[in-house]
Amino acid sequence: MFQGAITAMVTPFSGGELDLARLRDNAAFQIERGVGGLVPCGTTGESPTLSHEEHDRVIEAVVEAAGGSVPVIAGAGSNATGEALRLTQHAKQVGASASLQVNPYYNKPTQEGLYRHFMTIADEVDLPVVLYNIPGRCGVALSVDTIVRLADHPNIVAIKEATGSLDVASEVAARTDLCILSGDDSLTLPLASIGGRGVISVASNIVPDRVGAMVAAALGGDFESARRQHLELFDLFKAMFIETNPIPIKTAMQIAGMDSGEVRLPLCAMSDANRSKLAEDLKKYRIG
């Protein structure tokens, strides 16, 4: 159902307000360059800073812009199960293809609590679920045993693997039929070697065609070409995390003439030193 370069979209702001026109332009740019899907309101979309009304408007705008041409995986996770349910119900109502469900953060639930959280969402909303295992952001990780339990549910179809562990991803691949999507651009190719189907990508905000070509080569079995493209893009992948995501990608988009506005507090503008370094990195890719 999901494969290729799937873009983790930024949320554009102008003067502190949502810029839906820019959001639609960004979605059109991605679709024109052949992405395999769009993910609004994820980590890269600064979802914790959006009001419920803003969150709904972003999902609606991206679904409308996609027009069914590519899947839209709506970020609908929360550390409150009731809130995640409401967001997921809204995503289904407006026509999203699936929901992205992050591990509940800050609460630090037990594995049983994580299991019940995700099962509640999968039981109550008939919409495909992409689990999002990112302990570095959430303070808690889904264990492989819990992922295996969840994979029995027909609505739980995929996992965004962002633990940074190939061992975890390999065990998930060996014990489930879940579609595995990389949560880190730099690990997309290694994950493809053990059955990964693509990436929910930060870098594809600015180079969707290049990230897509790398994934297509790997999925087509041309690992020599995929390896070459991975190495060519590796510095760019790492540059997207010289400060907290999405500060670097939004800064890179500004430099590239694709300005999506400021980040919202508590994130803030990139330091001058890092901005200069990022600008130099982008020159290597003829960006900006």
Chain segment 231-280, per-residue pLDDT in tens: 999 999 999 999 999 999 999 999 999 999 999 999 999 999 999 999 99
Question: Dihedral through CA 254, CA 182, CA 187, CA 263, nearest 10?
Answer: 20
pLDDT value at residue 1 = 76
Catalytic residue from among 92, 160, 250, 285: 160
- Tokens, residue 130: 């992409």
pTM: 0.96
Q: What is the pLDDT of residues 8-33, one digit of tens each?
A: 999 999 999 999 999 999 999 999 99
In this predicted structure, the answer to whether residue 192 has a pLDDT above a threshold of 90 is yes
- Tokens, residue 143: 């264990």
Catalytic residue from among 132, 250, 277, 284: 132
Q: Are 135 and 101 in contact (CB under 8 A)?
A: no
In CATH, which of 3.40.50.360, 3.40.50.12780, 3.20.20.70, 3.30.70.20 is domain 4-222? 3.20.20.70
160 three-state secondary structure: strand
Q: Where are the domains of the chain?
A: 4-222
Residues whose CB falls within 8 Å of the CB of residue 49, separated by 6 or more in sequence, listed in order: 264, 265, 267
DSSP 176-242: --PEEEESSGGGHHHHHTTT--EEEESGGGT-HHHHHHHHHHHHTT-HHHHHHHHHHHHHHHHHTTS
Q: How confident is the model at residue 190 (pLDDT cuts 50, 70, 90)?
A: very high
In this predicted structure, the answer to whether residue 288 has a pLDDT above a threshold of 70 is no
Q: Which amino acid is at 286?
A: R
In this predicted structure, the answer to whether residue 224 has a pLDDT above a threshold of 70 is yes
Q: Specify whether 285 is catalytic.
A: no
What is the average per-residue pLDDT within 159-164? Answer: 96
